[in-house]
């Protein structure tokens, strides 16, 4: 005899939160232990070179700040060598993030040509099923950006702009600002990695 019970519905996919900070940035939750600081905290060790600040805010589809995200940065050093330079920060209540690092050099792309200087960002937060991968390109590298293998795979030039950080100065140090929009108008380009 066949079961008369109705079929069960699938449960929602597992997301990264609301406990993402406990696992990735425990000091923000007041969790202490053998580690003096959270893994990836502090200035990014990306070799020698002039220090820069990478900053911005993360917004959800309604334009509200995402104050519970964790952002990881992966980059080459100033000479364009990948030596596993990375950092991790949690966003603050305004959705803000900031990294103290060096400006990366150009690395060789899949086409054998130099890619524009860039960093890779990975974002997780409550409600995000799979970490989001994007890139931050530098607004003062227009010539390199114009020939970048990955950036030019984004067909719509208006969408490319969501990956380019504007440059300013603060305390004599270059500051590059890129706001990340998870959905909606001016949604940041994310890559399937």
CATH number for the domain harbouring residue 42: 2.60.130.10
pTM of the full structure: 0.82
Regarding predicted confidence, which is higher, 48 or 187? Answer: 187
Number of domains the chain contains: 1
Of 99, 102, 100, the C-alpha closest to 47 is 102
Range of 70-84, 116-130, 146-160 with top mean pLDDT? 146-160
108 domain-assigned: yes
3 domain-assigned: no
- CA contacts within 13 A on the Cβ side of 83: 13
Structural domain range at position 83: 20-181
For the cut 90, the answer to whether the pLDDT of residue 76 exceeds it is: yes
43 domain-assigned: yes
114 domain-assigned: yes
Residues in the chain: 193
The tokens of 109 are what? 């792309």
186 domain-assigned: no
10 domain-assigned: no
């Amino acid at each position: 005899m066949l079961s008369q019970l109705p079929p069960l519905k699938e449960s929602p996919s597992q997301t990264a939160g609301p406990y993402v900070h406990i696992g990735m940035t425990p000091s923000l939750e007041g969790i202490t232990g053998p580690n003096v600081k959270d893994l990836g905290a502090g200035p990014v060790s990306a070799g020698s070179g002039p220090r820069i600040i990478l900053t911005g805010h993360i917004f959800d589809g309604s334009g509200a700040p995402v104050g519970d995200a964790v952002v990881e940065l992966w980059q080459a050093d100033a000479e364009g060598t990948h030596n596993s330079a990375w950092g991790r920060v949690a966003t603050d209540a305004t959705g803000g993030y900031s990294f103290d690092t060096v400006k990366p050099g150009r690395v060789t792309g899949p086409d054998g040509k130099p890619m524009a200087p860039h960093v890779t960002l990975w974002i997780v937060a409550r409600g995000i099923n799979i970490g989001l991968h994007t890139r931050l390109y530098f607004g003062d590298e227009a010539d390199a950006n114009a020939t970048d293998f990955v950036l030019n795979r984004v067909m719509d030039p208006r969408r490319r702009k969501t990956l380019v950080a504007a440059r300013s100065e603060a305390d004599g140090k270059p500051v590059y600002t890129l706001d990340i929009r998870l959905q909606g108008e001016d949604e940041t380009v994310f890559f399937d990695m």
